[in-house]
């Protein structure tokens, strides 16, 4: 079983095709530079992909015999993920020149874009080493994240424009997320230092 929709009797291959079509659009969903996602579009994708994550988590825990293990293993990820949030321009009342402000992190518990690469190498064409960002780090814990490239590969698909971004899908669960206000250069330095400390402590 892939989805627990008793009156929607799609075959597993049909569900996989539908998921691939959703992913094609999801990875291209535009971010407004001032306020992020269009919330109504986000609700649309979360209604499908977010439900897939939540239902799978439930069945893995409560009814493991009902789970299509091969399907789940084709996208399942648990571990650390990262996300960058840009500053944006805001006009005050009666002001001529805008000011730059950091966005407020919206813990809406719906899905969003993540990567497993804390260096953000595949995203550096639209980022800067020295600019300050809000960088989010999530530990999925017992929750499941969706590895987009892994799923596409398992289904003989690829998207050359987004493959290098190492796209993952995971909800904005505040209890799992740490916020950093720093540059990518400093963040990478911090993560490398943590790795070295772990090696020394072994």
Each residue's pLDDT tens digit, 145-178: 999 999 999 999 988 777 888 999 999 999 999 9
Token pair 């500053």 is found at 87
Question: Is position 7 within any domain?
Answer: no
**In residues, how long is the chain?**
202
Res. 33 pLDDT band, cuts 50 70 90: very low
| Mean pLDDT confidence for 135-153 | 97
Q: How many helices (H) and strands (E) does the chain have?
A: 6, 9
pLDDT of 29 over the 70 cut: no
| Mean pLDDT confidence for 23-39 | 68
Mean pLDDT of the chain: 89
Question: Residue 76's domain spans which residues?
Answer: 12-201
Comparing CA positions, the residue from 182, 174, 178 lying closest to residue 134 is 182
Count Cβ neighbours within 10 Å for each residue of 29-54 and write b for 16 or more, e otherwise.
eeeeeeebbeeeebeebbeebbebbe
| Mean pLDDT confidence for 78-102 | 82
Backbone dihedral angles phi then psi of residue 24, each to the nearest 5 degrees: -60, -40
**Facing residues of 111 across strands?**
171
Rounded to whole angstroms, how far apart are CA atoms 56 and 62? 10
pTM: 0.89
What is the predicted pLDDT for the residue at 38?
77
pLDDT of 140 over the 80 cut: yes
Question: Is position 106 within any domain?
Answer: yes
**Facing residues of 171 across strands?**
111
| Mean pLDDT confidence for 109-133 | 92
> What total number of domains does the chain contain?
1
Rounded to whole angstroms, how far apart are CA atoms 116 and 35? 24
Question: Is position 17 within any domain?
Answer: yes
Q: Quote the distance between the C-alpha of residue 190 and its chain's center.
A: 21
Q: Which residues contact 179 (CB under 8 A, 6 or more apart)?
A: 105, 134, 135, 136
| Mean pLDDT confidence for 36-53 | 88
């Amino acid at each position: 079983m892939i989805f627990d929709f008793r009156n929607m009797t799609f075959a597993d291959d049909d569900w996989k095709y539908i998921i691939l079509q959703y992913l094609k659009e999801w990875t291209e969903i535009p971010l407004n530079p001032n306020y992020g996602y269009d919330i109504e579009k986000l609700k649309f994708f979360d209604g499908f992909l977010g439900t897939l994550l939540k239902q799978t988590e439930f069945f893995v825990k409560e009814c493991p015999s009902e789970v299509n293990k091969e399907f789940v293993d084709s996208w399942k990820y648990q571990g650390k993920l990262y996300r960058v949030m840009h500053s944006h321009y805001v006009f005050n009342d009666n002001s001529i020149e805008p000011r730059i402000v950091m966005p407020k992190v919206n813990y809406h518990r719906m899905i969003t874009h993540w990567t497993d690469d804390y260096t953000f190498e595949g995203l550096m064409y639209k980022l800067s080493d020295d600019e300050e960002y809000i960088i989010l780090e999530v530990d999925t814990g017992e929750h499941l994240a969706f590895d987009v490239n892994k799923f596409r590969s398992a289904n003989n698909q690829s998207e050359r424009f987004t493959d290098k971004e190492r796209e993952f899908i995971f909800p904005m669960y505040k209890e799992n997320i740490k916020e950093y206000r720093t540059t990518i250069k400093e963040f990478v330095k911090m993560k490398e230092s943590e790795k070295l400390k772990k090696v020394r402590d072994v």
